[in-house]
Chains A and B, each alone.
Chain A
């Protein structure tokens, strides 16, 4: 049972345009959400997070939006750069519990 879903396995975007990566979850107990970025042959690195008490969190070019009623979050990258080309994982946790559930990942390609 996939509690965190990323329905788009891949996404291509022109350099300078906006990249929007989507994530849906089914567990209503999740109250903290994270995005990780992974380059080939490296481990994932933390990118940005959001608590369920917020609906938006921004860090430079990266913004995460949370829609609790739809159980949906999205990551916006503006403007997209070729160095953003990577696999992006959405993740969620609940109630202060250390375990984090990851999605299947979306491979982003930013075309120069």
Chain B
């Protein structure tokens, strides 16, 4: 069964702290994604990665960076957390191509509160 796990369900951080959100998938998927979900704005893509050590900016990359050192793990880093980064963060993965590549599998999400 497909599984995407995220390191924390809830996090509370202070403004200016460096924050790491970890995501692991066990499906050997090539693609991994980080989104944030905000009321009225839906899911917005922050960054994605199509291979180890490869990354591409999504629609809202400002204030974030990512790391993908291993195929199964994709980390989202908030270099200096700000209150406007309070949100639900969702990680997803998908296969690289072929039938069904558009289908993404999501983790349960991390609700981050920045005070």
Interface of A with B (CB < 8 Å)?
Answer: 4, 6, 9, 32, 34, 36, 41-46, 49, 89, 93, 96, 98-105
Contacts and interface: CB of A to CB of B under 8 A. Distances in A.
12 contacts: A9-B40, A34-B103, A41-B9, A43-B90, A44-B106, A49-B103, A99-B45, A99-B58, A100-B45, A101-B45, A102-B45, A105-B43
B4 A104 contact: no
Interface residues on B, range: 20 to 34
B3 to A, nearest CB: 11
Interface stretch (B13-21, B63-71, B79-87, B93-101): B93-101
A94 to B, nearest CB: 10
A46 B103 contact: yes
A55 to B, nearest CB: 18
Given A98-B31, A102-B42, A103-B42, A49 B108 contact: no
